[in-house]
Each structure stands twice: as structure tokens, then as C-alpha cells.
Structure 1
Amino acid sequence: MPKRGKKYQEAMKLVDKTKLYDLKEAVETVKKTATAKFDETVELHVKLGVDSRHADQQVRGAVVLPHGTGKEVKVLVFAKGEKATEAEKAGADYVGADDLVAKIQGENWFDFDVVVATPDMMGVVGRLGRVLGPKGLMPNPKSGTVTFDLEKAVKEIKAGKVEYRLDKTNIIHVPIGKVSFEDSQLSENLKAILGAIVKAKPSAAKGQYLRSIALTSTMGPSIKVSPSKAVE
């Protein structure tokens, strides 16, 4: 383990490692322990009792956070004709087709956070699978990023829609806001995402579904949350 800085050591003193915090206390503590000079992101980490290697135990989806993420999200849309115009009007940052594929492949350009595509463009987008896939940027129908309703997709993403998905260790990592948010805003965002994850429980999942929940800020320590108290 790398040696942590003085601020981190001080922040750790405010966290009881043996305790499972309730939601309110966890939010208060994560804000108290965020000592960086910038407005840190608050992240939620949820370990699930599923096995992501099995297709019938995948957990992924998207939810619009009531108070957004506090981050300006840049949206790239693959569309043509009327649909391209619709995306532009909805506020997409970049709209195109083969020209964007060439820019990404040729210039290693990734000045965007979310990629949306109309279903008829997926053949074109598929050529970028190797570069978009590992970055978690590949459009997917389950997260609402492969759709003909571009206006709705773009507006929801801009309003604070976040995608959640399991990683290889069966953990979901998702931002729920900024340290500068009110406690109530972070709590409501957290409840919205946890509610969505609980609803997405696969029927094949056995035993305890929410194994562990933790809140962290970008530079701060991890605060363990009681799974039973988090979804009350």
C-alpha cells in the first residue's frame, strides 16, 4: 500500500472502520472526510451477491438521479439525417457518423462522456468496439443509449442519468454527486440508485443480494454503510 498523506490520515480518524453507518451518518461523514482543494465526487460502491460471469446474473441499467451528478456531461451521438438534427436540438455535444468513427480511430479522440446511437448506426459504431468497450462507452439498449428517441436520451443524460453495471469483481461503482451537494441531495441520489439496483436483482441471484455498500469521496477514505438501513 502506498503511504497516504497527512490529510488522509487525519480524515481516517473521523471514520470508525468497525461500524456500519446508516445513510444519514455516512453522507455526513463522507463530506467531513473530503479534504481536497477541489469539489470531490462522491461515489457509491455496491458489492452484490451475484456472479457476473453468468449471463443470467448480470446487473446493469441506468437511472436519472433526482439532483444530477454535479458534472457537465458531454454526449456524442451517432445518427444521420432527421435523427442527427433531433440530437443537435436536444443538446448533444457532438453528432455524426463515419466522420466521428474516423476521428476516434485516427486521433485517439475521447472528449466525451457518454455515447448514444440510433439502432441503424450500430453497424458503424461496432467498428469502435475495441476502443469504446474497455472504456465502458459502448452504447447499449439496456442503458437506453441505443434508441431512436434521441431527444429523451440526450436530455436525460444531461439531467443526470447515470449508468450502473457490475465489474468483474461483482461490484457496481457509480457517482452520486459532489461534496458541495446538500446532505439531502446526496441521500436522495443514493436512494434512487440503490432502488434501481434492488429492482434489477436477477431471479438467478441466491442468498444475500446487497453484500456490502460503501461511500467514498475522490480522495477520502471508504465509509461502510449498513445494507439493511440503506434501503429502508
Structure 2
Amino acid sequence: MKHGKQYRKSFEKLDISKVYGIQEGVDIAKAMAFAKFDETLDVSVKLNVKKSHSVRETFVLPHRFAVEKRVLVFAKDEKAKEAEEAGASVVGAEDLVEKIKGGWLEFDVCVATPDMMRGVGTLGPILGRRGLMPNPKTRTVTMDIKETVGELKQGRIEFRADKGGVVHLPVGKVSMESSKVRDNIEAFISELSRKRPADVKGNFIKSINLSSTMGPGLKLKNKEEN
């Protein structure tokens, strides 16, 4: 793949033979960013997992950097009131199901109480292909509406390993303080380590890479190898 002049100039700042500590790696990745927009910093982690393993979790990064999500909640009565008090952008029941069937999709994430899932399930063809369907595995089908809405507004995110055993996660912006990006990376790695399957032998984390949206990637130190 042929890269442009700015990419090649940026690449000169990188020592490809070096594995960087998190703080230094963040500083280098930020220094290599060259786009005119505020690039996102992404971490990709290669795991030692089998196809039968499921590595998936939701959690809140210490420092939010994305725009606050518009949270929609399917709930009735007291739970609907709880959602409104927690700051949900939209709250409704069957009326909201019909509104979405009519083409309205002005929200970023959906939460539903279990009793609403019969109606919400009919939205599968609409919400499913957009990754918006409430799901117990992502803790978006729940009776704990207050905590869930609060976490989502704070930036709760989901990570999961792809078919190749790699987990990708945005951890900050180039404009953020390096220490905050470092905190986010450390929190992500710690949370990921907790998902280690019991039958994994050897290192669970095989490699960690960091890059900005347009810049070259660099390797970060893996504590499991120390």
C-alpha cells in the first residue's frame, strides 16, 4: 500500500523496533497524527482465544471523549418515570414501537425493560441491522433503568473479539490530555484481562497496538510478557 507524503513524514517519528510503554506510546501516537480533524486514538488487542470463546463486555471508560449518546428507553409506569429522571432522551412504550416502525430513528442506543421485549422484538428488522436492538448481554434489557441510562450517558461502551480474536476500541482523541488517554487504555486492558477464559494457556493478550485515525500504528508493552 502506497502512503502519502504526510504519512511518510509522520512515520519518521516512529521507532518500529521499539515496544512503547503506554504513556510514551500515547505521546508518540499523538505526535504522529497529521489530519486536519481531531483524530480518534484506537487500540487493537490480539488475544489468545479459540473460536469457541466469547470475549464480550460493556464498561465505562474513566474519561469520556465522545458526544453524549441519545438514549431511548422502552418502559412503562414507574420504570418510565425512572428513565425520565435519569435523563433518557426519549421514553415510551407501544407508541414508541409504532413511531420507529414509521421510520423515526433519532437516537443512538436503546434500553428496554424485560416486559417490553415482546413489542420491541417486532423491531428486529429495523434495530437489529443497525446494532440498536436491546440485548441482555449488553445490559440494555434490564430493570435497573437508572444505573443503565446513567452509564450510557457517561459513555458506556461495548467491546468484543472478532473472528480473528482481535478486540478494537476507541480510547480517546488526539486533543485529549495524554494522561487521560493512558487512563482509558489501562482501564480497557484491565477490563479485557478479566474476560480471560479459564482454559487459556499461556499469555491471554498476545499484542497491543495503538494508532490514530490516519497515522501509523505502534506496539505497546504487554504486562503479561514481563
Fold in common (TM above 0.5): yes
**1:199-227, Cα deviation, whole Å (9 max, x unpaired):** 11121333321112111222222222122
Structure 1 segment 106-121 matched on structure 2, within 5 A? 106-107=102-103, 109-121=104-116
Matched, 1:97 2:93: yes
Equivalent residue for 1:20?
19
1:90-132 per-residue CA deviation (whole Å, 9 max, x = no partner) reads 111222234444444442x544332211122222232333443
TM-score, with normalisation over the residues of structure 1? 0.86
Structure 1 residues 50 and 4: alpha-carbon distance in aligned structure 2, compared to 1, 3 A threshold: same
Query: Counterpart of 1:138 in 2: which secondary structure?
Result: coil
So what's the TM-score if we normalise by structure 2?
0.88
Change (3 A) 1:47 1:122: farther
Give 1:197 shift: 0.7
Q: 1:17 to 1:39 in 2, by over 3 A?
A: same
Number of residues of Structure 1 aligned to a counterpart in Structure 2: 226
Q: Which residue of the other structure, out of 67, 80, 83, is the alignment partner of 1:84?
A: 80
Equivalent residue number for residue 65 of structure 1: 61
Aligned Cα RMSD in Å?
2.3
- In the aligned structure 1, how far is the partner of 2:145 from the partner of 2:121? 19
CA distance in 2, matches of 1:126, 1:205: 36
1:157 aligns with 2:152: yes
Decide whether aligned partners of structure 1 residues 82 and 21 sit closer, same or farther in structure 2, where only a CA change above 3 A counts: same
Cα pair 2:33 2:212 within 8 Å, conserved = yes
Question: Highest CA radius of gyration, 1 or 2?
Answer: 2
Name the amino acid aligned to 1:124.
G
SS for the counterpart of 1:163 is: strand
Q: Which runs of 5+ in 1 are unaligned?
A: none
% identical equivalent positions = 49
